[in-house]
Amino acid sequence: MKRILVLLLCVLPLLATAQRSKKNSDAPAMPHPRNVIFIVGDGMGTAQVYTSIVAQRDAHSAFLRFPYSGFSRTYSYNRYSTDSGAGGTALMTGHKVQNHHVAKGPDGTDYNSFLIDAKRFFGKAAGFVVTSSVLDATPASTYAHVANRKAFDSISMQMAQCPFEVMIGGDRNSFLPENRKDGKAPIDTLKARGYDMLYSVLDLASTRSRKYCALLSDDNPPKATKRGRMLTLGALKAIETLNRYDKGFVLMIEGSQIDWACHNNDSAYLVAEMEDFEDMLNAVLDFAERDGQTLVVVTADHETGGLTLLKGSIEEGVSRPTWATGGHSGVMVPVFSFGPGANLFSGVMQNTDFYGKLMLLMGAK
């Protein structure tokens, strides 16, 4: 009897280990998407999304095409309500920083974005498309390091030195020496580094270049009602260009002016920007469905306006927004995901979690 007990004490741990090993071996392998498209609706909370779903008459809404969803907590290093500098930094770099900082920590440490590190460690091509100045807080958090998000002269010089293949947005004037306090010409730096400079949507549509900077307006791009399909066309052109690179790509797309509409508490402006955002989302999801190797993640850096929906009409596709503030709120924002590894982006997460999850999916150990 004693021998049997001893035998059991020896064998049972081995059986348990074998069982755990079997479970581990049965677990599905971590997917490694070839491409990552990370999309930010600046200022886009759940109410902004639902306004759009209602306006799109439900079935036509791109948001309903995502199989996974969750929430992101948005507070910054030093504030309950983040700004876009700290919010963008958390999303892109995985670090919470002070409001108004861009990819620079409280102790002065510079943090790389997942776009920079995807190039560095995995050889991915990279780029961004925005409907704001290319120097605005969210795009800047992908390539720059400053303690003041308004330090545009420094940000533009850093952008002129960044390694991305594709950069699309507005604000040509900030790259010209006559408009700058320092008298420098980052536009010349970009040209010297081999970038084709493009200044209209037509130029962008027709280029066959593999490396370009498209500054499609002298200042900020106009509202959605006046800029046409700049966001969708820019996104599709960036995908077309970056997809020509052998090791795949990472692309950040921002619907920048959702935030501006909400700062203005302008419901019509919001609906138009969300419709434009949905048009881009549908185009991106169409590509991802055809491709089969592309992860699409959509979220926001924060919510703007404290938007509440108390009244509306589902049949008419109309919401009647109520605004609580002209600034940012501290509420969680939605997350939507599609493609290889999309399940990792469900549930409640920190805004700093995206960097690590994306790097893991791209092959980080």
Q: Give domain limits for the chain.
A: 31-362
The two beta strands, 294-299 and 35-41, are parallel
d(CA 170, CA 340): 32
State the pTM of this model.
0.92
> Contact, 110 vs 102, CB < 8 A?
no
Over range 279-288, report the average pLDDT: 98
Non-local CB neighbours of 263 within 8 Å, separated by 6+ positions? 43, 304, 305, 326, 327
- In the chain, the amino acid numbered 66 is F
Taking alpha carbons only, the member of 207, 252, 209, 200 closest to residue 230 is: 200
What does the pLDDT look like over 312-353, one tens digit per residue? 999 999 999 999 999 999 999 999 999 999 999 999 999 999
d(CA 317, CA 132): 28
**Residue 159 has what pLDDT?**
98
Q: Given a cut of 70, is residue 163 above it in pLDDT? A: yes
- Per the model's pLDDT, the better-predicted residue between 22 and 249 turns out to be 249
Over range 284-313, report the average pLDDT: 98
**Residue 80 has what pLDDT?**
98
Specify the range with the lowest mean pLDDT, choosing from 75-79, 118-122, 141-145, 313-317. Answer: 313-317
**Residue 4 has what pLDDT?**
45
**Residue 7 has what pLDDT?**
41
Q: Categorise residue 181: left if φ over 0, alpha if ψ from -120 to 50, beta otherwise.
A: alpha
Q: Given a cut of 90, is residue 5 above it in pLDDT? A: no
**Residue 59 has what pLDDT?**
75
CA distances from 190 to 26, 39, 97, 149 (A): 50, 25, 29, 21
Over range 87-97, report the average pLDDT: 98
What does the pLDDT look like over 194-238, one tens digit per residue? 999 999 999 999 999 999 999 999 999 999 999 999 999 999 999
SS in 3 state form for the chain? CHHHHHHHHHHHHHHHHHHHHHHHHHCCCCCCCCEEEEEEECCCCHHHHHHHHHHCCCCCCHHHHCCEEEEEECCCCCCCCCCHHHHHHHHHHCCCCCCCCECECCCCCECCCHHHHHHHHHCCEEEEEEEEECCCHHHHCCCCCECCCCCHHHHHHHHHCCCCCEEEEECHHHHCHHHCCCCCCHHHHHHHCCCEEECCHHHHHHCCCCCEEEECCCCCCCCHHHHCCHHHHHHHHHHHHHCCCCCCEEEEEEECHHHHHHHCCCHHHHHHHHHHHHHHHHHHHHHHHHHCCEEEEEECCCEECCCEEEEEECCCCEEEEECCCCCEECCCEEEEEECCCHHHHCEEEECCHHHHHHHHHHCCC
Taking alpha carbons only, the member of 44, 41, 213, 66 closest to residue 128 is: 213
**Residue 352 has what pLDDT?**
98
**In 10 A of CB 313, how many CB atoms?**
10
Assign domain 31-362 to its CATH superfamily: Alkaline Phosphatase, subunit A (3.40.720.10)
Q: Given a cut of 60, is residue 129 above it in pLDDT? A: yes
Specify the range with the lowest mean pLDDT, choosing from 16-25, 180-189, 297-306, 325-334. Answer: 16-25
d(CA 76, CA 87): 7
Rg of the chain taking only CA atoms, in angstroms: 22
The backbone torsions φ and ψ at residue 204, rounded to the nearest 5 degrees and listed phi first, read -65, -45
User: How high does pLDDT run on average in the chain?
Assistant: 93
Over range 182-192, report the average pLDDT: 96
Specify the range with the lowest mean pLDDT, choosing from 12-21, 25-34, 197-206. Answer: 12-21
CA distances from 333 to 299, 304, 326 (A): 7, 10, 17
Q: Given a cut of 50, is residue 261 above it in pLDDT? A: yes
